Structure 1
């Protein structure tokens, strides 16, 4: 993550900007050395930290956003993102397993090496030969384990990006991986993360809303709901942020600030890999209302 000097982070960026979008983007690019491009037909600008990342993003946003309902190709793209996330989680599990195996094998080699140094006059010849063979076998196994660990770590480095964008409520982080968002905000990795969707159709592909609350969820604006299954989500009605979400169907979302601290653009830019800027800019605003839903009742939690 790029470190940004505090003196270069002015408070004017933490409020709703008065400048036009082009001037606002130019100020951000100049002050924080970002690269900007605008997807075809989009009303937002994508800012990246390096040229390689910019090329990847250009291929991601090559399909223009549409004002119609999410079609089958959008659904396929969303499902491919979910498949990539599950593959990333399996790679992470394998990497942790290989690292623990690597540590155990290193300890075994140290003990075997100490045995191999024993004087041959005190140790039977066949025992010494057996120890050396075991030492060679363990060395080969360790080399193979280390090679596999490096391969999995290389795959693990290809993590989904964390976006910084002005959501329908406040400036927030968005990512397809809730684990990365929790890690960025120094929270427990198992903590539940809200998911935002571009439409109710996208939400119902992953979640089941109780029948008695579907009308409320369909008409609610800037309102997050917690289902009986403990999963939480929000349907975005704001047109500018909804346009961005349509490229992904749905993304996990959280406020772009340290836990229980106000919004800081310096911290947000250090965490985020990609910045999404529209005419609203980036600023802190009121969070969404939260309702807990049971099968038949709803209760306001915030």
Structure 2
């Protein structure tokens, strides 16, 4: 699978279904997992994941928010761009488009991406998504 550079719902990101490629690009330790972004809640459920009943509405209705349940991180976010490449896959691993712990550098990102999907506004770095660790009893904001 290719590595796609695109504007996500939150910031500029690398998307791929191959986590190994993303680890190599980011020079990131493999103990630190990537967020898995699903097109919709149905795709999330079809991937054999569960959300505690008391938290389903929170996950369905939240925007620009990532969740961690049992050490699995995910976000339900339809692509803001109307791209056939992005519509074709029900999920992608997602990470910010930069070297680990550095700012967005367009030259670096373009050299590492196989495909670039961009709209008329270009690629703009915004703040990352909120990150909530949830279970059936409580939730905690991590970012």
Confirm or deny a common fold (TM above 0.5): yes
After superposing the two structures, state which structure 1 stretch, 212-221 or 181-190, moved more: 181-190
The alpha carbon displacement at 1:294 in A equals: 1.6
Q: 1:235 to 1:224 in 2, by over 3 A?
A: same
**Alignment correspondent of 1:285:** 126
Structure 1 Cα separation of the partners of residues 75 and 133 of structure 2: 12
1:192-207 matched pairs, under 5 angstroms: 192-206=33-47, 207=49
Instruction: Indicate yes or no: 2:112 matched with 1:271.
Output: yes
From 21, 29, 35, the counterpart of 1:188: 29
Structure 1 Cα separation of the partners of residues 60 and 115 of structure 2: 30
From 44, 52, 65, the counterpart of 1:223: 65
- Contact 1:197–1:245 (Cα < 8 Å) also in 2: no
- Contact 2:39–2:79 (Cα < 8 Å) also in 1: no
After superposing the two structures, state which structure 1 stretch, 213-222 or 292-301, moved more: 292-301
Q: Pick 1 or 2: higher relative contact order, CA cutoff 8 A, min separation 6.
A: 2
1:242-257 matched pairs, under 5 angstroms: 245-257=86-98
Give the secondary-structure state (helix, strand or coil) at the position aligned to 2:126. Answer: coil
TM-score under structure 1 length normalisation: 0.45
- Contact 2:12–2:124 (Cα < 8 Å) also in 1: yes
**Alignment correspondent of 1:177:** 18
1:1-302 matched pairs, under 5 angstroms: 160-206=1-47, 207-227=49-69, 229-237=70-78, 239-240=80-81, 245-302=86-143
- Bigger fraction of residues in strand: 2
- Contact 2:8–2:80 (Cα < 8 Å) also in 1: no
The alpha carbon displacement at 1:278 in A equals: 1.7
The alpha carbon displacement at 1:277 in A equals: 1.1
Structure 2 Cα separation of the partners of residues 202 and 300 of structure 1: 24
Give the secondary-structure state (helix, strand or coil) at the position aligned to 2:95. Answer: strand
Structure 2 Cα separation of the partners of residues 222 and 167 of structure 1: 10
**Corresponding pairs, count:** 142
Please list every run of 5 or more consecutive structure 2 residues that lacks an aligned counterpart in the other structure. Answer: none
For residues 43-62 of structure 1, what are the alpha-carbon distances to aligned partners after superposition, in whole Å with 9 as ceiling and x for unaligned? xxxxxxxxxxxxxxxxxxxx
For residues 56-89 of structure 1, what are the alpha-carbon distances to aligned partners after superposition, in whole Å with 9 as ceiling and x for unaligned? xxxxxxxxxxxxxxxxxxxxxxxxxxxxxxxxxx
Please list every run of 5 or more consecutive structure 1 residues that lacks an aligned counterpart in the other structure. Answer: 1-159
The alpha carbon displacement at 1:220 in A equals: 0.2
Structure 2 Cα separation of the partners of residues 269 and 297 of structure 1: 41
Give the secondary-structure state (helix, strand or coil) at the position aligned to 1:214. Answer: helix
- Name the Cα RMSD after superposition: 1.7
TM-score under structure 2 length normalisation: 0.92
